[in-house]
Amino acid sequence: MKTWLRELPKVELHLHIEGSLEPELMFALAARNNVSLPYATVDEVRAAYDFSDLQSFLDLYYQGMRVLRTEQDFHDLAMAYFERAQAEGVVHVELSFDPQAHLSRGVELAAPFEGLRRAMRDAERRWGMTTALIMSFLRDRDALDAMDVLEKAAPYYELIDAVGLDSAEMGNPPAKFEAVFERAKALGIPRVAHAGEEGPAAYISEALDVLDICRVDHGVACLQDAALVERLRASQIPLTVCPLSNVRLKVVEQMTDHPLPQIIEQGLKVTLNSDDPAYFGGGVLDNYLACLEAFDWDQAMFKQLAGNAIDVAFMPESRRSELHKRLAAC
């Protein structure tokens, strides 16, 4: 079963590329860019990854990404992730990045956009891996700051497959970003948002109502609200669930407590993703394997979840049908 899961053509829809920064690369980039780190060794970095909640993770996540300064850094970061992902059977990656977290350190938009663009091209050339790019806004900053970034990104609109919303959820409801998401919609850019990770089910409803999103990132709080569950079931708006992330950020105590089985039982369109693989104990395959261990799902269930991700990915229809065929042959 484990070999079969590795070979299953998997599509990843929820990955923060800055959260794929492994400690070894963090040290290499720190040396390259003369950035000092509060750690002496790789083991010390890993030992620090003991989170009590989302904010305690975000503090280290923003600290770690200070080593990313140049176009080459973003290229190397993404290539290192794509290489690991393709080795675990991932055939398509939708990566998000946080431009505001770089702009506020004096790293201009060209560095992430050009570096990621080149890595996305290289991955397709080298492994036949396809990719899509999501530009995320930081919800714990002013909405005007997000609007400013959206306008600044104009030279790169053709590169952006969607905009997203991430960072500290509690106290930063979706409605705060109504105008930004309205502007993205007017520009013809699809929209996704984190909702119902640490926040309540009401944030999921609000993101659907106010931001007009086509996917919910996480969404695991949905079971708190029966009307919302019915809405998600009827609309088949997908949830990009990240089970290992939810365990590491104490959204749930352990994998066996995760609401995934109930959410699937309710007929919602669920996908499995890694979120921040360098911080949460593994990539997409590890998330599939953790579900196998906790829930003992059969091949039909994993094929359904992998197929859901193919259904809703930002990819050309020809690629979608090719991946559905490869999945069916498994």
Q: Which residues are catalytic?
A: 197
Nearer to Zn ion by Cβ, of 198 and 275: the residue is 275
Restricting to residues 8-37, which ones interact with ligand ADE according to CB under 6 A? 16, 19
CB 244 to ligand ADE: min, Å:
11
Is residue 110 within 8 Å of 71, Cβ to Cβ? yes
Nearer to ligand ADE by Cβ, of 153 and 247: the residue is 247
Rounded to an integer, what distance in angstroms lies between the CA atom of residue 52 and that of residue 249?
6
CB 169 to ligand ADE: min, Å:
6
CB 147 to Zn ion: min, Å:
22
**Measured on CA atoms in the order 119, 125, 126, 129, is the torsion positive or negative?**
positive
Among 61, 81, 97, 297, binds ligand ADE (CB under 6 A): 61
145 is written with which tokens?
A: 């700051």
Among 73, 94, 114, 197, binds ligand ADE (CB under 6 A): 197
Rounded to an integer, what distance in angstroms lies between the CA atom of residue 273 and that of residue 289?
12
Intra-chain end-to-end CA distance of the chain, in Å = 12
Closest residue to ligand ADE in the complex (CB): 166
Task: Decide: helix, strand or coil at residue 8.
Answer: coil
Tell whether residue 98 is a contact of Zn ion (CB under 5 A): no
Nearer to ligand ADE by Cβ, of 5 and 100: the residue is 100
89 is written with which tokens?
A: 């059977």
**Measured on CA atoms in the order 313, 315, 317, 323, is the torsion positive or negative?**
negative
Count of residues that bind ligand ADE according to CB under 6 A: 11
Rounded to an integer, what distance in angstroms lies between the CA atom of residue 138 and that of residue 143?
9
Nearer to Zn ion by Cβ, of 18 and 71: the residue is 18
131 binds, among ligand ADE, Zn ion, none (CB under 5 to 8 A by kind): none
Rounded to an integer, what distance in angstroms lies between the CA atom of residue 185 and that of residue 306?
28
Tell whether residue 94 is a contact of ligand ADE (CB under 6 A): no
Among 136, 211, 275, 284, binds Zn ion (CB under 5 A): 275
Each residue 119-148 as x (binds ligand ADE by CB under 6 A) or -, in order, gives: ------------------------------
Instruction: List 90's β-bridge partners, or say none.
Output: 10
Residue 131, phi-psi category: left (phi > 0), alpha (psi -120 to 50), beta (remainder) = beta
Tell whether residue 166 is a contact of ligand ADE (CB under 6 A): yes
Restricting to residues 256-285, which ones interact with ligand ADE according to CB under 6 A? 275-276
Is residue 212 within 8 Å of 162, Cβ to Cβ? no
Tell whether residue 314 is a contact of ligand ADE (CB under 6 A): no
CB 172 to ligand ADE: min, Å:
10
Rounded to an integer, what distance in angstroms lies between the CA atom of residue 173 and that of residue 202?
9
Task: Decide: helix, strand or coil at residue 245.
Answer: helix
Nearer to ligand ADE by Cβ, of 16 and 269: the residue is 16
Tell whether residue 54 is a contact of ligand ADE (CB under 6 A): yes
52: DSSP letter: S
Using CB under 6 A, list all residues that contact ligand ADE: 16, 19, 54, 61, 166-167, 194, 197, 245, 275-276
